[in-house]
Amino acid sequence: MPLTHRHLLQIEGLHPPEIDTMLDLAESYALLNRSGKTQRDLLRGRTLINLFFEDSTRTRTSFELAGKRLGADVINMSVSTSSVNKGETLLDTAATLNAMNCDLLVVRHGDSGAPALLARKVDAAVINAGDGMHEHPTQALLDALTIRRRRGRLEGLTVAICGDVLHSRVARSNIFLLSAMGSRVRVIGPPTLMPTEIERLGVEVFHDMREGLRDCDIVMMLRLQKERMTRGLIPSFREFFRFYGLDAEKLACAKPDALVMHPGPMNRGVEIASDVADDPVRSLIKEQVEMGVAVRMAVLDILARRSSRND
């Protein structure tokens, strides 16, 4: 089923067949990437702009690589070098991008809803690369692809999302995607890092890590988003690790073959112990990065085809 939207702004509201379409295409790009072949013609003559108002390593570079592998002209604009620092508003930026005939615009912004606002003002197809505490749709897609490749399915799996759920756009996008695809989602974290009424998203809430991890297939750790904490929400990193950090002993509460994930960047010894993060059998963290490129190629491919049909 083709994606019916012009932009990819959020996972919420996407239908399972749309998600499957993206994951199936991403799977074929994952195989192509592993074979060392590239597909350089698909986006030839198209311009992709990476517009990042917040720091990023993995997401920006993987969109850049994905665009280049498909043959697009890729331009990276970061806030420190653009006129945004000189007081240009988001809408002025949109007008500038329109004048440049940008086809695909990848946006990361600290404010929830900023990519959606730009999508109303630019001619390009907009991809949300993370907006505030709202969503990070390509992260959820790459997480789903990584799980599906290892477990063969998403349906019926129990996935625990652990840590700073309150500030995490990764958690929100994953909750929407995994629930839509039939996984059972649990969230685990201290009450101070849990959004109020999170149960309304259909998840089970735990404040005890060992209890919450029982019988889980997948343990997804989150980064503590210190930059979004305006007050002391945890007593100390040491205490957080003691109760909520993933170490071998807590992981033993999950299924014996449970797999471990983290979107990065990791705070080792705070959210996750190094021996767990680097475990070659249980940890999927490196594979998540690899699948990030494949997923972004699939998303660029689908949105570029859609926009060319509308030309």
Residue numbers annotated as active site: 58-59, 86, 108, 136
Residues touching ligand ASP: how many (CB under 6 A)? 8
Closest by CA position to 44, among listed 304, 299, 291: 304
136 binds ligand ASP (CB under 6 A): yes
115 binds ligand ASP (CB under 6 A): no
Closest by CA position to 195, among listed 164, 231, 230, 227: 164
Per CB under 6 A, contacts with ligand ASP among 176-235 are 223, 225
Q: Determine the distance from the C-alpha atom of residue 297 to the mean position of all C-alpha atoms in its chain, rounded to a whole number.
A: 14
Buried b (16+ CB within 10 A) or exposed e, 286-304: ebbbbbbbbbbbbbbbbbb
Calpha distance 293→194 (Å, rounded): 30
The least distance separating ligand ASP from the CB of residue 181, rounded to whole angstroms, comes to 21
Please give the structure tokens belonging to residue 134: 């709202």
172 binds ligand ASP (CB under 6 A): no
114 binds ligand ASP (CB under 6 A): no
Query: Which residue's CB is nearer to ligand ASP, number 219 or number 304?
Result: 219
The least distance separating ligand ASP from the CB of residue 44, rounded to whole angstroms, comes to 30
Other beta carbons less than 10 A from residue 21's beta carbon = 17
The least distance separating ligand ASP from the CB of residue 28, rounded to whole angstroms, comes to 25
* CB of 145 closer than 8 Å to CB of 23: yes
The least distance separating ligand ASP from the CB of residue 169, rounded to whole angstroms, comes to 5
End-to-end alpha carbon distance in the chain: 21
Calpha distance 193→167 (Å, rounded): 8
The least distance separating ligand ASP from the CB of residue 60, rounded to whole angstroms, comes to 10
Query: Which residue's CB is nearer to ligand ASP, number 217 or number 271?
Result: 271
60 binds ligand ASP (CB under 6 A): no
130 binds ligand ASP (CB under 6 A): yes
109 binds ligand ASP (CB under 6 A): no
H-helix segments, the chain: 16-35, 58-69, 90-99, 114-121, 137-151, 169-180, 209-213, 237-244, 248-251, 274-277, 285-310
Length of the chain: 311
Please give the structure tokens belonging to residue 131: 């907006």
The least distance separating ligand ASP from the CB of residue 237, rounded to whole angstroms, comes to 15
Position closest to ligand ASP via CB: 223
Query: Which residue's CB is nearer to ligand ASP, number 264 or number 269?
Result: 264
Q: Which listed residue (119, 159, 166, 170) binds ligand ASP by CB under 6 A?
A: 170
263 binds ligand ASP (CB under 6 A): yes
Which residues of the shown chain bind ligand ASP in the complex (CB under 6 A)? 130, 136, 169-170, 223, 225, 263-264
